[in-house]
Structure 1
Amino acid sequence: MIWTVPNMLTILRLLAAPGVVFAFVFLARPWADFVALLLFVSASVTDWLDGYLARKWNQTSRFGAMLDPIADKAMVVIALLAVTGLFGMSAWVMLPATVILFREVFISGLREFLREQAGLLAVTKLAKWKTTVQMVAIAVLLAQGIFEHYVGMHSYGMDAAMVDDVLAGRQPDEMGLAWKYNGLLATMYGGIALLWLAAVLTFVTGWDYFAKSLPYLRGKP
């Protein structure tokens, strides 16, 4: 039951996680942005697909149940590392990223400590929504780098006044600068807003898990 299609998809998702960072290490931009975005989105799709196929084909396994959350966490943690670097350690990205990373480490440690009682921390529907919002936010923020590159490239040699005229429609926009600039703003602010929403959901689900484990942490199950 290890080498089933759902488990292979999970393994590919796990292997794709470091590829997001490797793309920026070994490739020039914007190719690095394209590759990182493609890897992350593909891996995010397999997160839903492997579970769906495992249930449909009755191919659920202990190996898959063990590896699936590990692959999810690896994708989110490593992609957040790349995103914080791309945004120059901006506080608007660093703060929600810190909340997300802290929660993942804390809950993983809590599950390890509880061992037999770890079933108390079974994944809830809200936690699944949390993971979905995290992945969408990271994908949008990775896309921001693509828009940023082309806005910079297509405005190269223009002064601020000329750029303002093009964006305002007072000069011809032969390079499509306006829609690229709007895409830059949408992915930047939209991605940051989604990341903060993900951080809130992360905190709420983390606190829920912690509250459920308190009787066992106090030694009074």
Structure 2
Amino acid sequence: MIWNVPNILTVIRLAAAPGVAIMFLFFARPWADWFALVLFVTAAITDWFDGWYAREFNQESRFGAMLDPIADKAMVVIALLVITGFSGMNPWILLPATVILFREVFVSGLREFLGNTAGLLKVTKLAKWKTTAQMIAIAVLFSTGIFEHHFAERVFGMDEASIGAILSGGLPDDLGLGRLLWWRDATFFAGVVLLWLAAALTAATGWDYFAKARPHLADKPT
């Protein structure tokens, strides 16, 4: 392998993937959500940058072509597992996450089975849009946890009557509770919509790859 800038960034992105989950082992929320969000967004930016750098400065390599999609899948899969777990297995998140995970496993299996002919399953423009939609959806859903737990911090020790009075306008909202709840709900709704969009694109690209592979899956006549 060649240790050029794109390959180094790809290796760093691959190493960052489990770091998203590890944040929740060593830090309390919402700090864990903040660190996971920053780590995930930074890794996602390097995904765009290393591809651009490799093309612009002619540093594309077989190692990078192999590792880049693996790093992307590791980031998405681990982040989805974290978000699904902390959402309490919310079906609005669980179902599109299942579609995404199933497609990634299915296409990886196709590529492994095809062996030398796996080159026909090249990454398409639609697949790149799929990855972009996945990463944006995940980043937005990480921010939901930030607003939710900042709200929990500010109401700690308050009774329900006081919280209700503040949210209904009976008491001044000096802590910004209404704003935090609005952002929590807005980011959750936007994140779920984006995740379902990503799942639809994911399913479409999975079907496209399967259609391209079908001629190579047929048994030869005996």
Pair in the same fold by TM > 0.5: yes
Show the counterpart of 2:88: 88
Query: Identity over aligned residues, as a percent?
Result: 64
Q: Which runs of 5+ in 2 are unaligned?
A: none
Show the counterpart of 2:75: 75
Within 5 Å, give how 1:2-151 maps onto structure 2: 2-151=2-151
Between the aligned partners of 1:26 and 1:83, the Cα distance in structure 2 is: 17
- What secondary structure, in the 3-state scheme, does the structure 1 residue paired with 2:141 have? helix
How many positions carry a matched residue from both structures? 220
Show the counterpart of 1:214: 214
Superposed CA deviations along residues 128-171 of structure 1, whole A, max 9, x for unmatched, are 11000000111111111110011112223444454344334443
Question: Quick one: which amino acid aligns to residue 8 of structure 2?
Answer: M
Question: What's the TM-score, normalizing by structure 1?
Answer: 0.94
Question: What's the TM-score, normalizing by structure 2?
Answer: 0.94
Question: Quick one: which amino acid aligns to residue 7 of structure 2?
Answer: N
Between the aligned partners of 1:150 and 1:34, the Cα distance in structure 2 is: 11
- What secondary structure, in the 3-state scheme, does the structure 2 residue paired with 1:59 have? coil
Question: Quick one: which amino acid aligns to residue 199 of structure 2?
Answer: A
- What secondary structure, in the 3-state scheme, does the structure 1 residue paired with 2:42 have? helix
> What is the CA RMSD across the aligned residues, in angstroms?
1.4
Superposed CA deviations along residues 21-65 of structure 1, whole A, max 9, x for unmatched, are 100012111211111111100000011000000111111111111
Between the aligned partners of 2:81 and 2:167, the Cα distance in structure 1 is: 33
Superposed CA deviations along residues 53-78 of structure 1, whole A, max 9, x for unmatched, are 01111111111111100000000011
Show the counterpart of 1:172: 172
- What secondary structure, in the 3-state scheme, does the structure 2 residue paired with 1:156 have? coil
Q: Which runs of 5+ in 1 are unaligned?
A: none
- What secondary structure, in the 3-state scheme, does the structure 1 residue paired with 2:123 have? coil
